[in-house]
Amino acid sequence: MANTPQAKKRIRRNNRRAEINGARMSRIRGFVKKVETACEAGDKDAAQTALKAAQPEMARGVARGVMHKNTAARKLSRLTKRVAAL
């Protein structure tokens, strides 16, 4: 258990950051899900627009430190391949 005021503040801050980061990851997952559902439906136009919306979201996640750069690149690559295959 934290005893010093600094450690108590750090716990409060960590909880707040975890909440924000969780919301960011959830938002990114939502954008990725839109691309995947459009791919499954076979709607190429919707998949392309959803992919264009998902790319900056993932890049923002990388910039904010929520997602690793290579993870985002890998996921974008796979999504792009799926959309191109339609």
- Global pTM reads 0.85
Give the model confidence (pLDDT) of 20-62 as tens digits.
999 999 999 999 999 999 999 999 999 999 999 999 999 999 9
% of the chain with per-residue pLDDT over 70: 100
Q: Which of 79, 52, 24, 10 is nearest to 1 (CA)?
A: 10
**Rounded Cα distance, 52 and 57, in Å:** 9
Q: Please give the pLDDT value at position 72.
A: 97
Report all structural domains of the chain as residue ranges with CATH numbers, in order of start. Answer: 5-85 (1.20.58.110)
Please check whether residue 51 is in contact with residue 29, taking contact to mean a CB–CB distance below 8 angstroms: no
| Whether residue 17 has pLDDT greater than 90 | yes
